[in-house]
Amino acid sequence: MRAIALFPEGRLDWVEVPKPEAQGHDLLVRVKAVAVNPVDVKQSPGSEPRILGYDVAGVVEAVGSEVTLFQPGDEVYYAGSIVRPGGFSEYHLVDERIVGPKPRPLSFAEAAAMPLTTITAWEGLFDRMRVPLHDAQGHILIIGAAGGVGSIAIQLARMAGLQVIATASRPESRRWVEARGAHHVISHAEPLEPQVTALGLERVEYIFCLTSVAPYWDAMMALLAPEGQVCLVLPPGNVALGPLWALSGSLHAESMFVRPRFQTPTMIQQHRLLSRVATLIDQGVLHTTLSEQFAPISPETLSMVFERIRQGHVVGKLAISGFDS
Ligand SMILES: NC(=O)c1ccc[n+]([C@@H]2O[C@H](COP(=O)([O-])OP(=O)(O)OC[C@H]3O[C@@H](n4cnc5c(N)ncnc54)[C@H](OP(=O)(O)O)[C@@H]3O)[C@@H](O)[C@H]2O)c1
């Protein structure tokens, strides 16, 4: 079968590899669409060609002997694992415990846009910061809200009941976060504190930082409410924890690959949350974050999408469908 690999010299190109076989808890999935994330773009070339890609939507072709959640023919979406070959391939193996049923109203591209960022946003909000799923009180500041993670985090936080303050720095990204349901939009290109004060607020109960931590740390500490929650999705670097202590604040780290990488007992939660989100999309409560789609899945299309993401101003998600031109 054909797959797309990152070669040692840094180019993306086709490789021919054997079609894998499903064993144990694995599903063999015929890949229909993929989405690209910053984590794909950040990968360094190794000494051998490496198949990249995490977000996949496709159709189950075969199942391993221990599979109980899916059967051949099922349409699925998932974010894969950092320790296995990636999803930019015609067929792909994935553990059923991190897979959800594809939301019925969505195309494969619309579905492929969702899983990695949805797992990140859901785990960050509900598993790490312990935002109640319903009737949550207070405000959340989402820094870097127009990207893939922010586009679903806004929807989930609003669904839970929080008032959402989203940051976006350009007219296009401002419009995008407003359309995703942000109650207020402020700019991360300007100091955050006066903009929050101008909303009539002194402090916020939750802060979800979806970009580099250090440039925003002092503002986060100035804006966090006593006993507030902060969640980071990138390593914090050398930030001072004193101000957090002074607030009895809680700092959470979200890394969505941890459950599949370490095969934690909580790994099945990723199946459950993707299934729950699929139902919420079926019901029209949540919506795809796809902003643009491309075809076919090829080294040329991927290289172009990688470059768009590298520039750092994508709104929502970019997905690519189909292996045939
Ligand atoms: N830990 C995890 O499990 C996990 C999971 C997913 C993603 N991540 C990481 O989280 C980050 C966001 O991911 P994503 O998929 O949402 O990225 P993305 O889609 O590439 O984010 C693009 C958005 O970032 C905003 N942005 C760019 N520079 C910014 C800055 N200096 N300050 C604030 N916002 C800025 C842009 O808004 P404007 O155009 O308005 O400036 C743009 O809309 C990435 O670094 C990614 O690697 C971590």
Which atom of ligand 1 is least distant from the CA of 253?
Answer: 1
Assess if residue 18 is contained within a domain. Answer: yes
Give domain status of residue 75, yes or no: yes
Instruction: Kindly state if the Cβ of 310 falls inside 6 Å of ligand 1.
Output: no
The residue from 253, 284, 302 where one domain ends is 253
Q: Is the pLDDT of residue 291 over 90?
A: yes
Percent with pLDDT over 70 in the chain: 100
Is the predicted pLDDT of residue 324 greater than 80, yes or no? no
Question: 211 CB under 6 A from ligand 1?
Answer: yes
Domain that holds residue 210: 125-253
Ligand 1 in reach of 53 Cβ (< 6 A):
no
233 lines ligand 1 (CB under 6 A): yes
Orientation of helix 268-282 relative to helix 115-122, angle to 10°:
110
Amino acid 70: pLDDT: 98
What integer best gives the mean pLDDT of the chain? 97
Output Rg (C-alpha) for the chain, integer angstroms: 20
Ligand 1 closest atom vs CA 316: 19
For residue 135, pLDDT beyond 90 = yes
CA of 22 to the centre of ligand 1 (A): 34
234-245: average pLDDT = 96
Looking at residue 228, what is its pLDDT?
98
* Structural domain ending residue among the three candidates 253, 275, 302: 253
Structural domain count of the chain:
2
120 belongs to a structural domain: no
Distance separating alpha carbons of residues 205 and 137, to the nearest angstrom: 9
Nearest CA, atom 15, ligand 1: 148
Q: Is the same domain home to 75 and 157? A: no
Which amino acid would we find at residue 223?
Answer: L
- Is residue 83 packed enough to be buried (19+ CB in 10 Å), middle (13-18) or exposed (0-12)? exposed
| Distance in Å, CA 67 to ligand 1 centroid | 35
CATH of the domain at 136: 3.40.50.720
Closest CA to 109 of 305, 312, 310: 305
Q: For residue 170, which atom of ligand 1 is closest to its CA? A: 40
C-alpha 291 – ligand 1 centre gap (Å): 15
Q: Is the same domain home to 234 and 295?
A: no
Q: What pLDDT band is residue 325 in, cutting at 50, 70 and 90?
A: low
Return the structure tokens found at 168.
């976006």
**What pTM was computed for the model?**
0.98
Last residue of a domain, one of 234, 253, 272: 253
Quick check: CB of 141 below 6 Å from ligand 1?
A: no
Give the tens place of pLDDT for each residue, 36-87. 999 999 999 999 999 999 999 999 999 999 999 999 999 999 999 999 999 9
